[in-house]
Chain A
């Protein structure tokens, strides 16, 4: 029995210090992430309301699909100064998006888009560039409008958050020595109330918060991780093309899609990236495919198709660190179990906002205590000197 009680006070103090500092570092950023994350949990639902789009025609199951090359040609005619960037298929509705870009690394606002009906091939709309509140929130949430450095800052903050959660769980025990689980003294002093709320909400939502924090770290690293993967695989793939000029004539996108569909019948094709020296290969179509089950639909397999010959060059599964990233995405967004899961996600998020703000409150009142003591001392000293002055004046 004595053994379980014998955590050394020094150890507890160390964990407490780690909890305090790791929390202080990340709290402001975490509050931004939590508040912007709340509407983002419902981004699909909000998008339908805030950013309505032209609906595709009703189609019979198994209806034939229209020619994608023609869609690309139509889009090219609309934006003659740009070049085709990528083509992707909508998850929910039979729509195809064709994106045009001035460069291989498009900046915000560079991309021009055309949306087509998968079955009829009809141009549905050319979405106008206008302010998107969801886009604004997402940029703030993921990179604070600072680009890659911002992503890395948010990743470091997410890491600090995970450390504060784990150290918080360790100091929970010593702080709860005399309290039953779930204690909430609503009749106590504000400090007692917030202390109970911090402990209760913190420990109950711990697992969710650790998962969302850790997957946040992974998501923040997606740019360097994809860069690492390209650096590992691309040189070998591009070696045979050494010295050859950049292709100017592209083979058919439809044929490339057909080639991949035949080679990987169990996979669903989600997008095609045109030759791109930054995110793909300058000599290939990069065709992204995904599985068809709930889990494998998150796991992508890239396929490279020679852009001149239309031959399949290579298809290989991604390395473990990109697999981990792919699984991290749904676990961060909460978008994998229908609307009820999103609502639960939002409730956890609100609980976390309370944990963060109560943590700040507890830190402030703790800081205030010695400050008041200092103030009392100063006031006492002041009174003394006034008394002395009166004494001297006499």
Chain B
């Protein structure tokens, strides 16, 4: 039996990432120095999420072929 997720759950992570990205895009526009640094951190989060998800997927593959 496959479990179906409610939409609230499906969109929870994308919603949080959208808020973080929006903050990152605006922060550097509003100020310099600390504002820039916070923007870099915020925009690095979605990129890091991608890297983690993809490498996790690849590890599963390695485990299966071993």
When chains A and B are docked, how far (Å) is the Cα of A253 from the Cα of B12?
A: 58
Given contacts A294-B30, A294-B35, 14 further A-B contacts (CB under 8 A): A4-B8, A169-B14, A177-B10, A181-B10, A183-B53, A184-B57, A208-B21, A295-B30, A338-B36, A340-B36, A340-B40, A341-B40, A341-B43, A348-B43
Report the nearest A residue to B53, measured CB to CB.
Answer: A182
Task: Specify which chain A residues have a CB less than 8 angstroms from the CB of B57 in the assembled complex.
Answer: 183-186, 196
> Is A351 close to B, CB under 8 A?
yes
Report the nearest B residue to A185, measured CB to CB.
Answer: B57
Report the nearest B residue to A4, measured CB to CB.
Answer: B6
Task: Specify which chain B residues have a CB less than 8 angstroms from the CB of A1 in the assembled complex.
Answer: 6
A residues 146-171 near B (Cβ < 8 Å) are: 169
Task: Specify which chain B residues have a CB less than 8 angstroms from the CB of A176 in the assembled complex.
Answer: 5, 10
Bin chain A's interface residue count. 35 or more
Given known A-B contacts A294-B32, A344-B40, A211 and B5 have beta carbons under 8 A apart:
no
- Whether A330 pairs with B29 at a CB distance below 8 angstroms is yes
Closest Cβ–Cβ distance, residue A109 to chain B (whole Å): 35
Q: What are 19 contact pairs spanning A and B, CB under 8 A? A: A5-B7, A169-B14, A172-B10, A173-B11, A182-B53, A187-B65, A200-B50, A200-B54, A203-B14, A204-B46, A205-B46, A207-B17, A207-B22, A207-B25, A298-B29, A336-B28, A337-B29, A337-B39, A348-B46
Q: Which 6 interchain pairs have the tightest Cβ spacing?
A: A184-B57, A337-B28, A182-B53, A207-B21, A187-B61, A186-B61
- Whether A351 pairs with B50 at a CB distance below 8 angstroms is yes
Using CB atoms and an 8 Å cutoff, list the residues of chain B in contact with chain A: 2-8, 10-14, 17-18, 21-22, 25, 27-32, 35-36, 39-40, 43-44, 46-47, 49-50, 52-54, 56-58, 60-61, 64-65
Our count of residue pairs bridging A and B at CB distance below 8 angstroms stands at 123
